Amino acid sequence: MLQERLIELGWKEAVSIEWVKDLMKYQFLKMETANEKTGEVITSIRATSSLTTSEMMDFIADIQQWSAETLELYIPDPNEQTELI
């Protein structure tokens, strides 16, 4: 759903599902770490495999909220029944 909506809006890079996954991870799983000695800050992306169940639920909720607000796209909950037309 997210991939299709991004393509509709002109994001040609979204033709790759991996690009869409990376975009969502960059948007919501980004973390900054500072070197205590130098103060240098680096940004890394958490792997979804490292998330707890609660963190994964938050990640999904963040994507749903962002999609609704930014893309005007409703994404149902994973356990929500959807009707096929």
What are the sequence ranges of the domains in the chain?
Answer: 2-71
Q: With 0-12 CB in 10 A as exposed, 13-18 as middle and 19+ as buried, what is 51?
A: middle
Q: For residue 74, is pLDDT > 90?
A: yes
Q: How confident is the model at residue 15 (pLDDT cuts 50, 70, 90)?
A: confident
Distance CA 7, CA 1 (A): 10
- The pair of structure tokens assigned to 81 is 């029944």
Using the structure block, give the residue that is written with the tokens 């909950």: 77
Confidence (pLDDT) at 22: 94
How far are the Cα atoms of 34, 42, 47, 58, 73 from residue 61, in angstroms, in the given order? 28, 26, 17, 5, 13
pTM: 0.81
Q: Is the pLDDT of residue 85 over 70?
A: no
What pLDDT, in 10s, does the model give residues 23-45? Answer: 999 999 999 999 999 999 999 99
